[in-house]
Amino acid sequence: MNKIKIFFTGSVLLLSSVLFNSCSDWLDVRPESETVLEDYWQTESQANSVLMAAYRGMIRDGFMERVMTWGELRSDNIVEGNGISYDMQQILNVNLTPTNGLANWGDFYSVINYCNTFLHYAPLVVNRDANFSTTKLRTMEAEAYAVRALTYFYLVRAFRDVPLVTEPSISDDQNFDVPKSPESDVIQFIIADLLRAKQNIKRSYGREAFNKGRITLSGLNSILADVYLWDQQYTNCIAACDEVLSDETLQLVKADTYMQDVFFKGNSTESVFELQFDRNTQYNNKVPHLYGLTEAGRWVYAYYLGPKGNEDLRPFNYKPSTINESEKDYRNSHFIDTKTVVGNGYSITKYLLVDVVEDQQENIFPVYRPTNTTPNWIVYRLSDVILMKAEALSQRNDSSQNDLQNAVNLVNITYLRSNETADSLKLSNYPLLSDVQELVLRERQREFMFEGKRWFDLMRVVKRKNDATAILKFIGSKLTGDNLQMKKMSVIDALYMPIHERQIEINPNLEQNPFYLESEVSTESN
């Protein structure tokens, strides 16, 4: 059993014994036994506990830290903080190697294995528990497909080609030396999972507050839209977005309660899917450590997104033509602290809703005291879907003037929420197709900074152009000027993560990602 356990980082057949969110009773169901073999599957409660283990796996520290860092750390939003870990520091210094702990994908394959285990065994329970109907089974299977799809989507964006494991690890006789599958195959698999799930996923849980945090139809369509956008299937992306936008239960929060409702309280009216935390039973360790806590312990800062940033690149106070975009943007004054420079950036306040305690002594920085130490992690919210549709409209090959006008209109929805006294943005201010495309990308940066999305947004630019140097426009100013750093970031293969060396050791059929082969690394270092 050693190979299996190592490959999935020790959590192959074991369910977590950690207590989780007291507000989400559906997460509190745990198996009577730790092993999840065939004899275990007797009741609906037992089946449910394994599905919940998949959800719980997504709020583990290892999963959360990688969701945040894979999607954010290397972007133009983030620079090194005082308390940064060695692995993060190496990534920011463009020294990413197969020994880096953040390249270990074990927690993600653990979640996948829980889904695979549920999908394999749960049908047995229909014949063993009279209360567990086929309808209930199909609904829960839909959730398992959706969680598995989302997890693979994180993996494929971070690593490109990854092992496609579809069966649970239940026997020593199984062969787990699974080679990588091409990105295109994994994407097809993800889409198939989501379309299969769509047939039976619940539209909502109504007033069942204890079920918050479960994937519903709008959550599934949001994932699907994101996958289509990544795969440049823009018409399909628009269709998936439209399904979410037709959900009348979703509406944007007003600017004056934006921080409080969306990021402090969580589960707001614009929330589509978010991971659940609280102070009593499941503490969110990673967001406060990465963005907040003490000044000395803060892991990262916001790069110069405010007044000291490069005027040609910063998202706020941007001047595309005769107008001045985001001159008094709510997000600029609330997501980051632009008043005080710390290190080589600004303090991040998003998610934390910090109190600022002014020190009366001269030349002493204010004290930032986070008031929210256990924020939920938002995976999708309504504004994300709005701007995904805007991006798809502006990117499809046959984008018409009407498409571009609609894209600008969609940008205005989120833009005016945070710029209430500003004039609407007009298509005439963006005469070129590329101007509209850049507007959408800029608005996404303003809206979703520090939400684990920016690096993936930039990677879509690279994929469309098939040119790694496209990313240097955004992150080039962060680099130290070291020619080796610039050279590495000019190679598409280097923009994906290496496979951790331990995974290579235990799986002889697993090949290292091209850039990180020993011969290639040595060449790049010369």
pLDDT, tens digit (0-9, with 9 covering 90-100), for 265-280 = 999 999 999 999 887 7
Rounded CA-CA distance 283/258 in Å is 23
Quote the pTM value: 0.90
User: Does 272 fall in a domain?
Assistant: yes
pLDDT of residue 158: 98
Whether residue 450 contacts residue 335, with contact meaning beta carbons closer than 8 Å, is answered with yes
pLDDT tier, 484 (very low <50, low <70, confident <90, very high otherwise): confident
Whether residue 276 contacts residue 23, with contact meaning beta carbons closer than 8 Å, is answered with yes
For 79-233, where are the alpha helices, taking DSSP H only?
Answer: 86-92, 106-125, 134-159, 183-198, 217-230
Structure tokens at 318: 């941007």
pLDDT, tens digit (0-9, with 9 covering 90-100), for 452-470 = 999 999 999 999 999 999 9
pLDDT of residue 142: 98
pLDDT of residue 353: 75
User: Does 459 fall in a domain?
Assistant: no
Give the pairing type, strands 367-369 and 377-381.
unpaired
Higher per-residue pLDDT: 341 or 397: 397
Rounded average pLDDT over 307-312: 65
Mean pLDDT score of the chain, rounded to an integer?
A: 86
Question: In a 10 Å sphere around its CB, with 0-12 CB exposed, 13-18 middle and 19+ buried, how is residue 35 labelled?
Answer: exposed
Please check the confidence at residue 116 and state whether its pLDDT lies above 70.
yes
Rounded average pLDDT over 308-334: 83
Domain, as residue range, for 392? 248-452
pLDDT of residue 304: 80
Rounded CA-CA distance 13/160 in Å is 27
Nearest C-alpha neighbor of 450 from the set 361, 294, 334, 320: 334
Secondary structure letter of residue 267 according to DSSP: S
Higher per-residue pLDDT: 39 or 494: 494
Bridge partner list, 337: 347
Please check the confidence at residue 517 and state whether its pLDDT lies above 70.
yes
φ, ψ dihedrals at 16, nearest 5°: -65, 140
3-state secondary structure of 164: coil
Place of tokens 């699974």: 178
Structure tokens at 63: 């999963």
Radius of gyration over every alpha carbon of the chain, rounded to an integer in angstroms: 23
pLDDT, tens digit (0-9, with 9 covering 90-100), for 149-171 = 999 999 999 999 999 999 888 76
Please check the confidence at residue 424 and state whether its pLDDT lies above 90.
yes
User: Does 481 fall in a domain?
Assistant: no
User: Does 348 fall in a domain?
Assistant: yes
Whether residue 471 contacts residue 489, with contact meaning beta carbons closer than 8 Å, is answered with yes
Rounded CA-CA distance 88/479 in Å is 15
Question: In a 10 Å sphere around its CB, with 0-12 CB exposed, 13-18 middle and 19+ buried, how is residue 270 labelled?
Answer: buried
Rounded CA-CA distance 79/299 in Å is 9
φ, ψ dihedrals at 377, nearest 5°: -105, 120
φ, ψ dihedrals at 253, nearest 5°: -75, 145
CATH number at residue 403: 1.25.40.390
Structure tokens at 164: 């496609």
Output the DSSP codes for 459-472: HHHHHHHT-GGGGH
User: Does 125 fall in a domain?
Assistant: no
User: Does 160 fall in a domain?
Assistant: no
Please check the confidence at residue 486 and state whether its pLDDT lies above 80.
yes
Rounded average pLDDT over 197-205: 95
Q: How many residues does the chain have?
A: 526
- Name every residue whose Cβ is closer than 8 Å to that of residue 244 and which is 6 or more positions away in sequence: 218, 221, 222, 225, 250, 272, 382, 385
Structure tokens at 393: 């409209």
3-state secondary structure of 163: strand
pLDDT of residue 33: 36
Q: CA dist 485 to 39, 94, 353, 488, 520, Å?
A: 54, 6, 35, 5, 15
Whether residue 78 contacts residue 302, with contact meaning beta carbons closer than 8 Å, is answered with yes
pLDDT tier, 26 (very low <50, low <70, confident <90, very high otherwise): very low
Number of structural domains, the chain?
Answer: 1
Structure tokens at 31: 């198996």
3-state secondary structure of 80: strand
Calculate what percentage of the chain has a pLDDT beyond 70.
84
Question: In a 10 Å sphere around its CB, with 0-12 CB exposed, 13-18 middle and 19+ buried, how is residue 411 labelled?
Answer: buried
User: Does 36 fall in a domain?
Assistant: no
Nearest C-alpha neighbor of 196 from the set 141, 119, 121: 141
Please check the confidence at residue 489 and state whether its pLDDT lies above 70.
yes
User: Does 364 fall in a domain?
Assistant: yes
Rounded CA-CA distance 89/353 in Å is 26
